[in-house]
Amino acid sequence: MTATDNDKNPVREPSLVRLDDSAYNEAKSILFQAYRHEPTFQYLFDHRKPGYEKRVRATIRELLNLHFETNQEAIGVMADNTLVAVAFIGEPELRINLAEQLSWRLRMVLTAGFASTRRYLDYHEKIRSMLPEGDTFQLPLMGVHPKYQNRGFGRMLLAAVERLCAQNPRGNGLVLDTGNSRYLPFYESEGFRSLGTIRLGDYEDFVLFRDADAPPMASVPSG
């Protein structure tokens, strides 16, 4: 269904799409814009040293490569014929331990550097240690392009992630983390609770969990 703008130009409603590797470049761009100013990435990849943006790009690239190589779920929001938001979901059956991904580690060291790779692995392991028992979905990467923020696309995307997780009875919930405390009220309003924090220099990274039995998220108007 479409609405019309002055009865001339059709205005398409935002829609959810499943992503494959054909969306790689668009997803990489969205995630770079979403994460480069995040406190967690600024600490892990040392924004005070030259080459910070290169290290962030390299990390996002290698994480996307690993995600597509392992055939995990990815979804996005299309608006104005443009991919504006993406989420990459770690399936409960594939609790990937990055420390065991030797080819990934090698590519990371060559592109992001040894120190950044070591920090990221340590950070990843701390999150793994906080996961609840049982099989849990993870949301390691989610972002909305800055141009399209504050238009409800993040909430729409997160609701879609929850629905996908609910379709897999082996998953007992969804884990995500954020280094930006201003997002906490949003996640709490969607049924997430804290599993704890990870100290990253002067920052705290918040690890959050939403139980699979939590009430369904509110529907999001698509207009």
pLDDT for residue 55 is more than 70: yes
- pLDDT tens digits along 113-163: 898 888 888 888 888 888 887 788 889 899 999 899 889 999 999 999 988
* Rounded average pLDDT over 159-170: 83
Which residues are within 8 A (CB) of 12 and not within 5 positions of it... i.e. 6 or more apart? 2, 78, 79, 80, 81
**CA contacts within 13 A on the Cβ side of 154:** 18
Q: Is the pLDDT of residue 221 over 70?
A: no
Kindly report the number of other CB atoms within 10 A of residue 180's CB atom. Answer: 13
Number of other CB atoms surrounding residue 111 within 10 Å: 16
193 or 214, greater pLDDT: 193
- Summarised one tens digit per residue, pLDDT across range 1-52 is 223 333 344 446 889 999 999 999 999 999 999 999 999 999 999 999 999 9
Regarding pTM above 0.85, the answer is no
Output phi, psi for 120, to 5 deg: -65, -40
In this structure, of 51-60, 106-115, 156-165, 209-218, the range with the lowest mean pLDDT score is 209-218
The CATH number of the domain covering residues in 11-211: 3.40.630.30
pLDDT digits (tens, 9 = 90+) for 82-116: 999 999 998 876 655 666 677 777 778 888 889 88
Return the higher-pLDDT residue of 172 and 21: 21
Q: What single-letter DSSP state applies at residue 49? A: S
Instruction: Name the percent of the chain lying above pLDDT 70.
Output: 86
